[in-house]
Amino acid sequence: METVVLIIMLMVSFNFALKLTYHNAAGLIATCMLAAIFAGLAWPFAVSQSKAQIADWLNAPDLMLDTSVILTVDVFFQVTFCVMMAKKIAGEKLSKAQGAIYTVAFWFPGLLIFPVLFALLVEIIFAFPGNDFSTLAWATGAFVLVAAPSLSYLIKFLLPERDLRLELMFVVNAITAILGIIATVNGRTAVKGTNNVEWDALAGFLLIMAAGAVAGILIHKRSTRKIISKIQ
pLDDT digits (tens, 9 = 90+) for 53-66: 665 665 665 666 66
Question: Of all residues in the chain, what percent are helix, strand and coil, respectively (each to 5)?
Answer: 80, 0, 20
DSSP assignment of 45-95, as one string?
A: HHTT--HHHHHHHHT-HHHHHHHHHHHHHHHHHHHHHHHHHHHHHTTPPP-
pLDDT digits (tens, 9 = 90+) for 150-197: 999 999 998 888 888 888 898 888 888 888 777 666 545 444 545 565
Residue of 117, 178, 174, 125 lying closest to 148 (CA atoms): 117
- What pLDDT is stored for residue 231 in this prediction? 64
- 110 — alpha (psi -120 to 50), left (phi > 0) or beta? left
Q: One-letter amino acid identity for 36? A: A
* Residues 183, 164: Cα–Cα separation, whole Å: 29
Is the CB of residue 8 less than 8 Å from the CB of residue 111? no
Residue % of the chain over a pLDDT of 90: 17
pTM: 0.73
Mean of the pLDDT values across residues 133-143? 90
